Structure 1
Amino acid sequence: MRFTTILLGGLALASAAPAFAQDETAPPPALKLSGGTTLISDYRFRGATQTDSGPALQTTLNLNHKSGFYVGTFMSTIDGSGRTPALTGYGQAEVDLYGGFTKTLKGGFGVDAGLLYYYYVGHVSGQKTDFFEPYASITYTVGPVATKAGVAYAWDGQKGLSGFDVRSTNDSNIYAYGEASVGIPTTPVTLKGHLGYSKGSLGSLNIPGSRDDDYFDWSATAEAVGGPLKVGVSYVGTDISNQNRFAKRLGRGSTVLAYIGTSF
């Protein structure tokens, strides 16, 4: 009854003063909270599995200010049991904390820059796992086509990166990438492509003894979105050597993965 009374009163006010109702528009909120949860068949970070080629549950949460500043977090289950060699002792969850600034410019261009911190929950006591990674990117959108080029750099001297680079005592890492996507008209499907290049401590994933501290990764994805739901399938690969099935056995070679998620 109370709801009905308020509703009818509101309708009467609207009919009595339509011009006022049309001119009075609420300003957009200064802060916007968004996020989502995804179930993926294999968590691949820059082409390499983080879950022993098994499934992962992932969550994102972002808080954006109208000025362009934002903070957020990405959380994912991982495999730190030793079955995923590069993550031995890292625990069972990765939590990424980040903050930055993004801005849409004229002519379809946009920029984004920030700082990301990788934190591994439940890692072995005394093992150094965490590190910072600044990042920056530029985007360009025209019609249904969106492109992006970016770089992330983890500086030398961070204990979480120490001892991984097989070619030097410099434990820094650089990751450069390019991406493109296009929406298929009159459908909910978007096609996406990605090419990345890792060099340094996080690029030392090739066959032991090769002294190879860099590699390329790539992916091709088809994603469909309907309301808050999304589903997708990706082909992911790297140029890490598959001699004696090395890349395949360690989850660093080509694979097909699928995911389903929801967002708000």
Structure 2
Amino acid sequence: MLKKLTTLALSTTLCTLSGVAAAETVESPLGNFDVSMTATLASDYIWRGQSQTAGEAAIQGSLDVAHESGLYAGVWASNVDDAAFPGNTSGADIEVDYYIGYGYGFTDDISVDLQLAKYTYPQASQWNGYEVIPSITAYGFTLGHKYGVETGVHPTYTWVGYDYELPYEITLSASYGLTDQKAGGEDYNDWSVGVGKTIFGLGVSLTYTDTDIDSEVCAATYGKDDYCDSNLTVAVSKSF
């Protein structure tokens, strides 16, 4: 898989960071394309520190195509639970995201990426939305910004992340993010730290996440106060 494709997980969930890099290179008159698919089974789907599956397991999958020029496109999908959405009446049970973008590496350690992502919920179109996502990565650090085009649907999100290779081919990942609600509501911070390793061809990860959302605010928004609690997520991924 081209290196730029590994950044796509940041627009979804940290669980997929442990995915095993694999891709099929396809030659064409227009240049070489890398095509890859990833399947993930996770104990939860965490988005900006909050469960999107009401604390239940998530099955996720992606298909990515990247051109040697740096252009790429892909689709990602996961189950969700409507109880994890404000109002508890959205009817959403699946999320399908589409994205296109361009990544450029100045050196092996410094790169930039610009992505346009569309988030769709077939049973709850009121949650559909777009985000413009620029990011820069340097020496293991990533600084990114997600601008939600639809005010109140996808709040603005700014994050910094860091990846570090530990001994025994274990990857340490950490992030800190700020959600700006824009249209009202409480802004909040989330953070995570996790480890991942390839075992028998599978990417295995363990990720701790938390937020500073007040339990009363969480209960008023989601109907329960535990959707914003700290979470320990286990994920297993396989790329083809």
Cα deviation per residue 1:19-68 (whole Å; 9 max; x = unaligned)? xxxxxxxx896111012111111101111111011100011111000000
Match of 1:101 in 2: 102
- Structure 1: how far apart are the matches of 2:77 and 2:158? 22
In the alignment, structure 1 segments of 5+ residues that lack a partner are 1-26, 165-170, 205-210
**Number of the residue aligned with 1:224:** 197
Question: What per-residue deviation string (whole Å, max 9, x for no partner) do you get for residues 80-109 of structure 1?
Answer: 2xx324363142110000000001113621
- Identity of paired residues, percent? 27
Aligned to 1:260: 236
Letter in 2 for 1:255: N
Give the CA deviation at 1:153.
0.2
RMSD over equivalenced CA pairs, Å: 2.5
CA distance in 1: counterparts of 2:217 and 2:34, whole angstroms: 50
Query: How do residues 138-157 of structure 1 correspond to structure 2 at under 5 angstroms?
Result: 138-141=136-139, 146-155=140-149
Match of 1:238 among 211, 224, 228: 211
Check 1:226–1:103 CA distance in 2 against 1; reply closer, same or farther (3 A cut): farther
Alignment of 1:42-121 (within 5 A): 42-80=44-82, 83-86=83-86, 88-106=89-107, 108-121=109-122
Rg (Cα) greater in structure: 1
Q: What is the aligned residue count?
A: 209
What residue identity is the alignment partner of 2:164? Answer: V
Maintained 8 Å contact 1:84/1:250:
no
**C-alpha separation between the residues in 1 aligned to 2:85 and 2:71?**
37
Instruction: Report what 1:9 is aligned to.
Output: none
Instruction: Report the TM-score, using the length of structure 1 for normalisation.
Output: 0.72
Give the whole-Å Cα distance in 2 for the aligned partners of 1:245 and 1:79. 16
For 1:174-253, list aligned pairs within 5 A. Answer: 174-185=156-167, 187-200=168-181, 211-212=185-186, 214-226=187-199, 228-243=201-216, 246=219, 249-253=225-229
Could you report, residue by residue, the CA deviation over 1:5-31 in whole angstroms, capped at 9, with x for unpaired residues?
Answer: xxxxxxxxxxxxxxxxxxxxxx89611
Given the two structures, how large is their TM-score scaled by the length of structure 2?
Answer: 0.79
Deviations 1:195-232 (A, max 9, x none): 00000258x6xxxxxx52x1001101011114641111
Structure 2 unaligned regions, length at least 5: 1-26
Give the SS at the match of 2:81: coil
What's the offset of the Cα at 1:260?
0.8
Q: Does the 8 A contact of 1:90 with 1:129 survive in 2? A: no
Distance in 2 separating the partners of 1:107 and 1:229: 25
Distance 1:225 1:97 in 2: 27
Which one has more relative contact order, counting CA pairs under 8 Å at least 6 apart?
A: 2
Return the letter of the residue paired with 1:254: S
Asked whether the equivalents of residues 38 and 261 of structure 1 are also in contact (C-alpha less than 8 Å), the reply is: yes
CA distance 1:108–1:85, shift in 2 (3 Å): closer
Q: Name the aligned partner's letter for residue 180 of structure 1.
A: Y
Give the secondary structure class of the aligned counterpart of 1:128. Answer: helix
Contact 2:130–2:154 under 8 Å retained in 1: no
Give the Cα–Cα distance (whole angstroms) in 2 for the partners of residues 244 and 197 of structure 1.
Answer: 17
Residue 152 of structure 1: how far off its partner (Å) = 0.6
Q: In the alignment, what sits opposite 1:137?
A: 135
Alignment-derived partner of residue 173 in structure 1: 155
Q: Name the CA shift for 1:240/1:149 in 2 (closer, same or farther; >3 Å).
A: same
